[in-house]
Amino acid sequence: MESALDYWSAKALLEWQVELGATETLCEAPVNRYELAPPAPKAAESSKPGRAPPVPPKPKPVDPVAEARKQAKAAPELPSLRAALAGFRHCDLKMGARNLVFSDGQPGARVMVIGEAPGREEDQQGRPFVGPAGQMLDRMLAAIDLSRDKNVYLTNVLPWRPQQNRDPLPEEVAMMVPFLERHVGLAHPDFLVLMGNVSCQAVLGKTGISRLRGQWAQAWGKPVLPMFHPAYLLRQPGHKRAAWADLLELKARLGAVS
Least confident of 32-46, 116-130, 133-147, 174-188: 32-46
Alpha carbon distance 121, 101 (integer Å): 11
Alpha carbon distance 190, 184 (integer Å): 10
Alpha carbon distance 96, 138 (integer Å): 28
- Of residues 54 and 204, more confidence is placed in 204
Please say whether the beta carbons of 233 and 240 come within 8 A.
yes
Q: Is 119 a member of any domain? A: yes
Secondary element (H or E) of residue 172? helix 170-187
Task: Summarize the confidence of residues 183-188 as an average pLDDT.
Answer: 98
Return the pLDDT at 46: 47
- Asked if residue 52 has pLDDT above 90, the reply is no
* pTM for the predicted model, two decimal places: 0.76
Q: What is the pLDDT of residues 73-112, one digit of tens each?
A: 999 999 999 999 999 999 999 999 999 999 999 999 999 9
CATH code: domain of residue 139: 3.40.470.10
Q: What is the pLDDT of residues 219-231, one digit of tens each?
A: 999 999 999 999 9
Our count of domains for the chain comes to: 1
Q: Is 143 a member of any domain? A: yes
Please say whether the beta carbons of 217 and 228 come within 8 A.
no
Task: Summarize the confidence of residues 209-217 as an average pLDDT.
Answer: 96
Return the pLDDT at 30: 67
Return the pLDDT at 20: 75
- Asked if residue 235 has pLDDT above 70, the reply is yes
Q: Is 249 a member of any domain? A: yes
Q: Is 3 a member of any domain? A: no
- Of residues 43 and 93, more confidence is placed in 93
Q: Is 95 a member of any domain? A: no
Secondary element (H or E) of residue 255? helix 240-256
Task: Summarize the confidence of residues 46-50 as an average pLDDT.
Answer: 55
Return the pLDDT at 1: 46
- Asked if residue 144 has pLDDT above 70, the reply is yes
Q: What is the pLDDT of residues 64-75, one digit of tens each?
A: 999 999 999 999
DSSP 53: P
Containing structural domain, residue 156: 100-256
Q: Is 112 a member of any domain? A: yes
Q: Is 142 a member of any domain? A: yes
- Of residues 75 and 9, more confidence is placed in 75
pLDDT band with cut points at 50, 70 and 90 for residue 3: low
Least confident of 19-28, 137-146, 147-156, 240-249: 19-28
Task: Summarize the confidence of residues 144-166 as an average pLDDT.
Answer: 95
Q: Is 15 a member of any domain? A: no
- Asked if residue 21 has pLDDT above 80, the reply is no
